[in-house]
Amino acid sequence: MSLKSRKRTPIAGALLIVFMLVGLIPAVIGCTEPESEGEFPLRDPLVRFKIATTTSLYDTGLWYHLEPIFEELANVEMDIVYAGTGIALEYGRRGDVDAIIVHDKAREDVFIADGYGLNRRNFGYNFFLIAGPPDDPAGIAGLSAAESMTKLYNEGIMGNVKFVSRGDDSGTHAKEKLIWKEAGFDYEDVQNSGEWYVEAGKGMGPTLLMANEMQAYVMADISTFLAYNLKRDLSIEPLVDKDSIFLNVYAAIAINPETHPKAKIDIANQFINWLISDEVQEIIGTYGTAEYGRSLFFPIASCDMPGCPPVEDYTTPVPAYMK
C-alpha cells in the first residue's frame, strides 16, 4: 500500500460509516416497537411492571392465566421473567424487577432484613415429593422425608441407586438441603459422596426428565411433577409425599424503593394485595382441576399445619407506601 493511499483512506472509512448509519435507522426504529403487533397489545399509558417468578408457577401455566387479569386491573404491561428463587432474589437485590415471587423462607427473611424487600405476603402453597422408579429399589415408600434421604444415601454410596438434585440454588434445592440437614448430613459431604448424587443444574422440568431417563430418585414440587407427567408420561412415580417438611409456601415480595428508587412500589403493593384477594385465591384453589383432576396449588387460608404462615400474615393488606 502506498503512502498516498494510507493518508486518504480515513475519509473513505468515514463515508462508509455515514452510509451505514443511514441503513441503520429503520433497524433502530424497528427494534423499539416489535411488540406492537399480535395479540399482546401494549397498554396506554405504557407502564411496564416487572416481576421475577419461580419456575414452578410459570411452567404450570398459572401466570399465563393471571397475567392478563392483572394487566387489565392495573392498566400496566406486566413483564414476567421466570427464574429459580436464587436468581429471582438476585434480580431483586440488583433492582432489576419491581416484585419477586419466591419460595424459600430462610432466604426471604435475609432479603427483607437486608433492606431489599418489603411487604411479603404468602399467597399459596403445595407440597414437595420424592419420586423414583416404581419398583423402589431403595425401599423408601412410606418413610419420612429425612428417613428416605438417609436410605437413598446409604444405597447410593453402594452404587444401587441414583438421586438427581436440582443443584441450582432454587427454592426446591434449598428445601432438599434442609431435608439433608434434618437427616443429620452435612450437605457438602453428600455432594462429594460419589457418582450416585447427580447435580443437574437445571429447572424442575428438565431435572425430572433427567431422573426419568436415569431411573433415578428426585425431589420435585407436586405441580411440576403432575404437569410434566401429563405431557411426558414419566415412568418414575411419587413414593414419599406425606411429611410436614414438604410444605412449599409461595411468597410475593415488593422491592424496597428506599434501596432502589426506581422500583414501582405502588403497583407492586397493588399486585400483592390482589394476589391475596378472594378473586385470585379462588383461581389458585381451582387452577389445574380440569387438566389434572386436582388443583396444583392451594389457597393460603387452607394452610393449617406446622410451618404454615400465621393468618394475619396474609389477611392483612399491604399498606400504601409513604416516604
Partner 1 sequence: MTEIWNGLVKAVELIISFDPEVMQIAGRSLLIAVSSAVIGSAICIPLASIIHFNKFRGKRFLVSLIQTFYSVPTVAVGLFVFVFISSAGPLGGLGILFTPPAIVVGQVILITPILLGLTISALNSVDRTILDTARSLGAGGWQMAVLVVKEARFAVMAAVIMGFGRAISEVGISLMVGGNIRGFTRVITTAISLETSKGDIELAMALGIILIIIALVVNIVMNRIQQR
Residues that bind partner 1 (CB under 8 A): 1-2, 4-17, 20-21, 23-24, 27-28, 30-32, 34-35, 37-40, 50, 55, 59, 64, 67, 77, 79-82, 93-96, 202-206, 209, 227-228, 231-232, 260, 262
Task: Round to whole Å and give the CA distance between 146 and 152.
Answer: 10
Going through the chain in order, the beta strands assigned E by DSSP cover: 48-53, 77-82, 99-102, 117-132, 163-165, 197-199, 217-221, 237-240, 247-255, 298-299
Distance of closest approach, residue 201 Cβ to partner 1, in angstroms: 13
User: Which residue reads 436464587 in cell numbers?
Assistant: 86
Task: Round to whole Å and give the CA distance between 307 and 175.
Answer: 13
What is the chain's percent helix, strand, coil content, to nearest 5? 50, 20, 35
Cell numbers standing for residue 150: 438417609
Distance of closest approach, residue 217 Cβ to partner 1, in angstroms: 19
* Shorter beta-carbon distance to partner 1: residue 105 or 260: 260
* Shorter beta-carbon distance to partner 1: residue 151 or 202: 202
Q: Is the peptide bond before 26 cis (omega within 30 degrees of 0)?
A: no
Distance of closest approach, residue 28 Cβ to partner 1, in angstroms: 7
* 71 in Cβ contact with 78 (< 8 Å): yes
Distance of closest approach, residue 116 Cβ to partner 1, in angstroms: 11
Cell numbers standing for residue 171: 427454592
* Shorter beta-carbon distance to partner 1: residue 9 or 302: 9
Cell numbers standing for residue 67: 397475567
* Shorter beta-carbon distance to partner 1: residue 11 or 305: 11
Distance of closest approach, residue 260 Cβ to partner 1, in angstroms: 6
User: Which residue reads 404491561 in cell numbers?
Assistant: 77
* Shorter beta-carbon distance to partner 1: residue 30 or 310: 30
Distance of closest approach, residue 96 Cβ to partner 1, in angstroms: 5
Task: Round to whole Å and give the CA distance between 222 and 197.
Answer: 21
* Shorter beta-carbon distance to partner 1: residue 15 or 320: 15
